[in-house]
Amino acid sequence: MCHEDTQEVTACESLLADISKFRPGRNFPALVSDFKGETYFLCRFISPLPLPDGMHSEQLSLEQMMRRMARYVSMIPYQSDKISFAGMYDLWSNNAEFLSCLIGDDEEHALLLIAYFLQLNVPIVRLVFGESMESGESVWVLSKSDESSVGTLWNPVNGRFFRITDPTVPLTSITCMADKSNIYYNTQTETHPNRVDWSINNWRKLWSGTKGDLPTIQPLEIQYTPPDNSLASREARKIEADIKVPFLIENNF
């Protein structure tokens, strides 16, 4: 079931048909389905979320906090929807569902990371859709201090980050970006992050006018489960033993 205005959906489909003819073979997302099979513009999945207790530190700079939260998100296991749903569906869970299941693909990781960046008041953050040498179709996060600055691309699955000018960035193409208010399509000739013009004035917008932030379908707060330090200590000792004992046996200690 689609929860968006019929006229807007029709206009969106017409736009995507036009730009797909102009740039065939590129991934131009707009409407996505949640776990209930309900469809929304993907902008509605982008929303700030309070950080877990104990994660925020006034002693850390903004960049250090961003790295901390990227590390935190990357600790959640990855599993492609192709495995979860036998390749039949590409569904987006909200942040509460993701943190409850504690497993998801790159979209879930990217949505959680951008939620934390928004909570940290990072000036500009957007989802980035493209192709990666590591996993094919991918969703990363872009952060910028302003529209004219050199941005940083964040891989939400492993926590690594790269300047958009870095020739070693694993992303090989960028086809789309999205934030809370709009979706931006790359109709330029170039798609590689090093050669793309990142000014949104040179991207095709889903909505040409000023629409404002779309109301989100994400939860505004989440009740985080406190960490079980006792369990963590037991697991750490078990892992240490699993590594240490075979080594001692092998070396006749």
Tens digits of per-residue pLDDT, 216-239? Answer: 999 999 989 887 888 889 988 999
- Three-class DSSP category at 126: strand
Ranges of the chain whose pLDDT falls below 70: 81-89, 253
- Per-residue buried b or exposed e for 131-169, using 16+ beta carbons within 10 Å of the residue's own CB: bbeeeebbbbbbbbeeeeeebbbbbbbebbbbebeeeeb
> Which tens digit of pLDDT belongs to each residue from 88-121?
557 899 999 999 999 999 999 999 999 999 999 9
Which CATH topology does 6-227 take? C8orf32 fold (3.10.620)
How many whole angstroms separate alpha carbon 117 and alpha carbon 1? 30
Residue 247: its pLDDT value, please? 77
